[in-house]
Structures are given as structure tokens and as C-alpha cells.
């Protein structure tokens, strides 16, 4: 294996396992769902295999598919800030960049995990046009290790363009984040 391929593999692994979201101190009282041994858990494998997430969007009455990755940092109960990059598979304006503020609500917390609702909003650019968006996501939070939890989620968002001549964007993404409790 050459050095460039090895470096790419390491970067993809780190991108999937980086502390993407530092958030709510959801307490997991039981140990049945927590991986204590040195073996690799399902959550760790999923984070390595899914360093990027799929995104589906509708813009100008056309359907597009892409990949996206969000990195966020926050402190409960103050919310979190996030940066998200998306690569859209089409001929022009392939790159989307978003910055947002989100607030997470733990709807239900149990020993094996929690249900989360997140609402927020932010700024969008594709380096040609810009806009602002509200967003909401619904997800699960389940323990991977002590003070570490995986967060599969479904996010809905609608971006309103600042130029009335540009079409708005509606998108849906399925993600997989990592929460680290401090």
C-alpha cells in the first residue's frame, strides 16, 4: 500500500471517529449497552464505515444526491455550533457549506439510550449564492463506551435564498454522529 492511500484511509477513519459533537450529559445508569472490553463495538465500526452521510435535496424542481459531513461542538444546555460541508453529485455548484446553531432536547432518556430532537438554523452558501435555513433533526443516542454515545439521526432542512431569483433548497440527510460527554 502506498503512503497516499494509507494517509487517505487514516483521514477517513479519523473523520468518522472524531469528536463530532460534545453534548448532553445523558446519563446511562445501566452497563448492559456499554462496551467495557477491548473489543470493537457496533457503534465504533459504524463510525469508521460512515465518515460521510448521504444527503438528498430538491433544488429548482430537480432531485439531487450527495454526501455530507457535519462537525459540531457544544455544551449542554447551551446548544452547539456546527459546520457542514456537502458534495452534491451534479454538473455545477457541487459544493455546499453551512454554519448553524442547534439546540438539542432529550425527549426520553433510558438506561439503553435516549431520543433526541434538535432544532436550529443557520447560514448557507454554495460560493455562488447564499441563504438562511431552519432545520430539525430526530435521532437516537445510545452508548458505545463510558461517556461516549453514537447518534444516528434524520435531518430535515429548508434553505431560503437571499436572492428572490434563486430557487430555495429542501434537503433530507441521514447522519451518524458521535457524542462525547465531558
Q: Is the pTM of this model over 0.75?
A: no
- Grid coordinates belonging to 164: 428572490
E runs forming strands in 89-168? 95-110, 113-125, 130-145, 148-161
pLDDT at 52: 84
pLDDT at 144: 81
The percentage of residues in the chain with a pLDDT greater than 90, rounded to a whole number, is 47
Distance separating alpha carbons of residues 24 and 160, to the nearest angstrom? 30
* Closest alpha carbon to 119 in 140, 105, 99, 139: 105
pLDDT digits (tens, 9 = 90+) for 44-54: 665 555 578 99
Cross-strand partners of 95:
87
* Closest alpha carbon to 50 in 8, 17, 73: 17
Which range marks the domain in which residue 39 is found?
3-180
Average pLDDT score over the chain: 79
Residues 6+ away with beta carbon under 8 Å from 8: none
Number of domains in the chain: 1
pLDDT digits (tens, 9 = 90+) for 129-146: 999 999 999 999 888 887
Q: Which residue has the higher pLDDT, 56 or 4?
A: 56
pLDDT digits (tens, 9 = 90+) for 80-121: 899 999 999 998 889 999 999 999 898 998 888 889 999 999
CATH number for position 107: 2.40.160
**What is the CB-side half-sphere exposure of residue 71 using CA atoms within 13 A?**
9
Amino acid at each position: 500500500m502506498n503512503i497516499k492511500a494509507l494517509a487517505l484511509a487514516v483521514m477517513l477513519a479519523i473523520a468518522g471517529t472524531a469528536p463530532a459533537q460534545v453534548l448532553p450529559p445523558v446519563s446511562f445508569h445501566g452497563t448492559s449497552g456499554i462496551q467495557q472490553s477491548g473489543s470493537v463495538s457496533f457503534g465504533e465500526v459504524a463510525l469508521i464505515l460512515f465518515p460521510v452521510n448521504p444527503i438528498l435535496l430538491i433544488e429548482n424542481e430537480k432531485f439531487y444526491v450527495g454526501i455530507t459531513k457535519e462537525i459540531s461542538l457544544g455544551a449542554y444546555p447551551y446548544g452547539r455550533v456546527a459546520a457542514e460541508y456537502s458534495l452534491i453529485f451534479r454538473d455545477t455548484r457541487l459544493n455546499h457549506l453551512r454554519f448553524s446553531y442547534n439546540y438539542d432536547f432529550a425527549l426520553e432518556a433510558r438506561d439503553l439510550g435516549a431520543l433526541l430532537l434538535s432544532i436550529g438554523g443557520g447560514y448557507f452558501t454554495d460560493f455562488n449564492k447564499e441563504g438562511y435555513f431552519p432545520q430539525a433533526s430526530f435521532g437516537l443516542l445510545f452508548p458505545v463506551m463510558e461517556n461516549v454515545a453514537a447518534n444516528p439521526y434524520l435531518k430535515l432542512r429548508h434553505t431560503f435564498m437571499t436572492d428572490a431569483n434563486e430557487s430555495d433548497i429542501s434537503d433530507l440527510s441521514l447522519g451518524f454522529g458521535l457524542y462525547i460527554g465531558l
